Chains A and B, each alone.
Chain A
Amino acid sequence: ETGVTQSPTHLIKTRGQQVTLRCSSQSGHNTVSWYQQALGQGPQFIFQYYREEENGRGNFPPRFSGLQFPNYSSELNVNALELDDSALYLCASSQSGTRSSHEQYFGPGTRLTVT
Chain B
Amino acid sequence: SQQGEEDPQALSIQEGENATMNCSYKTSINNLQWYRQNSGRGLVHLILIRSNEREKHSGRLRVTLDTSKKSSSLLITASRAADTASYFCATLALSGTYKYIFGTGTRLKVLA
Contacts and interface: CB of A to CB of B under 8 A. Distances in A.
A78 B17 CA distance: 44
Interface string B74-107: 0000000000000010101010111111111100
A111 B35 CA distance: 19
B73 to A, nearest CB: 17
Contacts, number: 89
Interface of A: 2, 4, 6, 31, 33, 35, 37, 39, 41-45, 48, 55-59, 88, 90, 92, 94, 96, 99-109, 111
29 contacts: A2-B42, A33-B99, A35-B102, A42-B4, A42-B88, A42-B90, A42-B103, A42-B104, A42-B105, A45-B99, A45-B101, A48-B99, A55-B97, A56-B98, A88-B40, A90-B43, A92-B100, A94-B98, A99-B94, A99-B98, A100-B31, A100-B50, A101-B31, A102-B31, A102-B92, A102-B98, A103-B45, A106-B43, A111-B40
